[in-house]
């Protein structure tokens, strides 16, 4: 356990035992540093953690106080509103231009959709790639035709089995990232013009798949802690033909929730009852903050209607773009579409990852990353509360590495995005997560990077910009 975690636990325990009363001011950072014989930075870290746990709060120019009524990070309790009609999709230009401007700036990467690449065990994976050259002087591409490299498929199936997800290795098809897996899965189950139900807000890669295939999206209200609203989805299905449903039950991007098992079961039962296939995007499955890997929709699937998609890009390496699909009864179609779409997935990355999984410390790496993200989630959440104006609300991520922030309603997040970019700070504007303007005062913040003085200054500046935009009159774009 780190020193600041130990300190935070001690103070929390003291509050619980009544050593500090609710509303009481506690030691300043400088005082606490001297009292406990630790650095200023350690105290700041500990206090930030305690803020995010709802134990402490800051008051401007006054210092840290024990919270009157501890609360759990102010999750937004109501689901998003229903958007009743399906709509055509064209968000990709906004997303691509946003991602590109994020890349073009040497900026504080709050807007990045990618995990801190500094956490990837890149040198070790590369050692395996390098060793392949010695083993295979003449590489046989045909060995890795769809469904993909057999050893990699075995390793992926083994990890699912160890986590209680029922998997037949023969069901797995290796793809170019989860992006291709999602695209092929959607193409296997629906055709141009069809309507597809998605969460609201939804991860834009889902909207891209719908856009690419000329389908229509219907956005279903989604609870920030429990996922897609099953009652609302039931009503939608009763009213109109829904060809497929696309969801992210674990650590949804951007909301960060983990759908409870019971809800997962209900969702699969509802859709199965109508023979509607469901595409499950589970790319964050390894980045849980709880004690164990969460269940998947696959666990509740009895009819082969769940097309499960995932990848190594969030948890191991983004540079190789290795993903996979487990398409249930649509396996043959997905394999064929894979072959038509990109022929094969590059073989060296497949074998290098298979070797890493078999021989190296993937679980050790994951334990470290999960601990970091869990801590950084609390810090980011506490810091937003500290620096952003009243009326700001944040999600409570159960995994992954993004925070969803609702700004005061006057603040247009595209204007914030542009203003922040000029200060060398990026954010993910809420516009990317809907085909409607439903989230124009929301932003997504990435907290996978280590918390530094620079990020703190950047977040403070961002809070000031939010305050300024909230007071501006008129022209919201």
Q: How far apart are the first and last CA of the chain?
A: 47
Least distance in angstroms from the C-beta of 448 to its own copies: 11
Q: 196 has which bridge partners?
A: 217, 244
112 is an interface residue for its own copies by CB under 8 A: yes
- Quote the radius of gyration of the chain (alpha carbons, Å): 23
Question: Which listed range, 65-73, 174-182, 242-250, 273-281, lies at the site for its own copies (CB under 8 A)?
Answer: 174-182
Looking at the Cβ atoms of 150 and 389, the one nearer to its own copies is: 150
102, 157, 379, 445: which one binds its own copies (CB under 8 A): 102
- The size of the interface with its own copies (CB under 8 A), counted in residues, is 59
The H or E element spanning position 246 is: strand 244-247
Which C-beta is closer to its own copies: that of 11 or that of 102? 102
If the CB atoms of residues 5 and 143 are measured against its own copies, the closer one turns out to be: 143
Of residues 42 and 175, the one with the C-beta less far from its own copies: 175
Q: Fill in the per-residue mask, 68 to 97: x = in contact with its own copies (CB under 8 A), - = not in contact.
A: ------------------------xx-xx-
* Residue 356: CB minimum distance to its own copies, A: 13
In the complex with its own copies, the residue whose CB is nearer, 200 or 350, is: 350
Which position among 137, 292, 422, 475 is part of the footprint of its own copies (CB under 8 A)? 137
Window contacting its own copies (CB under 8 A); options: 58-66, 130-138, 238-246, 461-469: 130-138
My answer on whether omega of the bond before 201 falls inside 30° of 0, hence cis, is: yes
Contacts with 99 (C-beta within 8 Å, 6 or more apart), sequence order: 113
336 contributes a contact to its own copies by CB under 8 A: yes
Cβ distance to its own copies smaller for residue 176 or 279: 176
Among 51, 57, 180, 229, binds its own copies (CB under 8 A): 180
Rounded Cα distance between 423 and 455, Å, is 12
**Any contact of residue 116 with its own copies (CB under 8 A)?**
yes
For the chain, give percent helix, strand, coil, nearest 5: 45, 15, 40
Contact between residue 116 and residue 107 where contact means Cβ atoms under 8 Å apart: no
What is the footprint of its own copies within residues 343-362 (CB under 8 A)? 343-349
Q: What is the DSSP string of 142-192?
A: GGG-TT--HHHHHHHHHHHHHTT----GGG-EEEEHHHHHHHHHHHHH--T
Report in angstroms how near the CB of residue 120 gets to its own copies at its nearest.
8
Could you give the CA distance from residue 316 to residue 323 in angstroms, rounded to a whole number? 11
Query: Rounded to the nearest 10 degrees, how much is the dihedral formed by the CA atoms of 181, 226, 161, 285?
Result: 50
Which residues fall within 8 angstroms of residue 459, CB to CB, at 6 or more apart?
Answer: 110, 380, 383, 384, 387
Per-residue contact flags (x/-) with its own copies for residues 205 to 244, judged by CB under 8 A: x--xx-xx--------------------------------
CA distances from 210 to 11, 279, 285, 332 (A): 50, 12, 23, 21
Contact 43, 29 (CB under 8 A): yes
Residue 143 in the binding site for its own copies (CB under 8 A) = yes
117 binds its own copies (CB under 8 A): yes
Contacts of 473 (CB under 8 A, 6+ apart): none
**For its own copies, the closer CB: 114 or 300:** 114
CB nearer to its own copies: give 109 or 254: 109
Q: Residue 101's Cα: distance from chain center in Å?
A: 21
| Position 122 contacts its own copies (CB under 8 A) | yes
Closest CA to 80 of 475, 477, 443, 438: 438
Contact 465, 458 (CB under 8 A): no
Is residue 339 at the binding interface for its own copies, with CB under 8 A as the rule?
yes
Stretch that binds its own copies, among 52-60, 100-108, 218-226, 385-393 (CB under 8 A): 100-108
Segment contacting its own copies by CB under 8 A, of 77-85, 160-168, 280-288, 317-325: 317-325
State the minimum distance, in angstroms, from the CB of residue 167 to its own copies: 22
Indicate which single residue of 5, 41, 63, 139 sits in contact with its own copies (rule: CB under 8 A).
139
- 448 binding its own copies? (CB under 8 A): no
Query: Sheet containing 402-406: which strands, arranged edge to edge?
Result: 393-394, 402-406, 442-446, 428-429
Binding site for its own copies (CB under 8 A): 92-93, 95-96, 99-100, 102-103, 112, 114, 116-118, 120, 122-123, 126, 129-130, 132-133, 136-143, 145-146, 176-177, 179-180, 183, 192, 205, 208-209, 211-212, 318-321, 336-337, 339-349
């Amino acid at each position: 356990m780190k020193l600041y975690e130990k300190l935070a636990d001690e103070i929390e325990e003291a509050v619980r035992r009544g050593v500090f009363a609710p509303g009481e001011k506690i030691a300043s950072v400088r005082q606490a540093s001297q009292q406990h014989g630790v650095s200023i930075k350690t105290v700041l870290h500990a206090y930030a953690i305690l803020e995010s746990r709802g134990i402490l709060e800051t008051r401007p120019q006054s210092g840290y106080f024990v919270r009157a009524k501890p609360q759990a990070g102010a999750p937004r309790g109501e689901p998003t509103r229903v958007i009743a009609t399906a709509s055509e999709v064209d968000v990709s230009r906004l997303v691509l231009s946003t991602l590109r401007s994020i890349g073009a700036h040497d900026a504080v990467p709050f807007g990045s959709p990618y995990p801190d690449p500094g956490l990837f065990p890149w040198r070790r994976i590369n050692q395996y790639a390098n060793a392949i050259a010695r083993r295979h002087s003449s590489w046989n591409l045909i060995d890795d035709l769809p469904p993909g490299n057999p050893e990699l498929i075995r390793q992926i199936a083994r990890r699912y089995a160890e986590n209680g997800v029922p998997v037949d290795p023969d069901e797995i098809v290796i793809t170019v990232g989860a992006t291709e897996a999602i695209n092929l899965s959607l193409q296997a189950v629906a055709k141009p013009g069809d309507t597809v139900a998605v969460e609201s807000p939804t991860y834009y890669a889902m909207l891209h798949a719908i856009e690419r295939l000329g389908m229509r999206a219907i956005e279903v209200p989604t609870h920030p802690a429990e996922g897609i609203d099953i009652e609302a989805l039931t009503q939608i299905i009763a009213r109109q033909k829904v060809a497929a449903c696309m969801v992210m039950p674990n650590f949804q991007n951007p909301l960060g929730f983990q759908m409870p098992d019971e809800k997962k079961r209900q969702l699969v039962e509802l859709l199965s009852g109508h023979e509607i296939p469901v595409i499950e995007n589970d790319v964050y499955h390894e980045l849980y903050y709880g004690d164990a890997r969460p269940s998947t929709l696959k666990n509740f699937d009895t009819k082969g209607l769940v097309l499960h998609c995932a990848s190594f890009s969030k948890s191991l390496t983004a540079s190789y773009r290795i993903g996979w699909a487990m398409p249930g009864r649509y396996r043959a179609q997905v394999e064929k579409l894979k072959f038509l779409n990109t022929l094969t997935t590059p073989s060296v990355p497949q074998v290098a990852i298979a070797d890493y999984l078999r021989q190296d410390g993937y679980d050790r790496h994951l334990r470290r990353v999960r601990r970091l993200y869990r801590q950084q989630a609390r810090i980011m959440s506490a810091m937003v509360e500290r620096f952003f104006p009243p009326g700001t609300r944040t999600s409570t991520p159960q995994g992954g590495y993004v925070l969803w922030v609702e700004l005061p309603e006057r603040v247009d997040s595209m204007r914030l995005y542009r203003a922040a970019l000029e200060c060398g700070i990026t954010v993910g504007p809420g516009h990317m997560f809907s085909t409607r303007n439903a989230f124009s005062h929301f932003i997504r913040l990435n907290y996978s990077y280590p918390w530094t003085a620079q990020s703190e200054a950047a977040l403070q500046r961002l809070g000031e910009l939010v305050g300024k935009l909230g007071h501006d009159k008129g022209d919201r774009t």
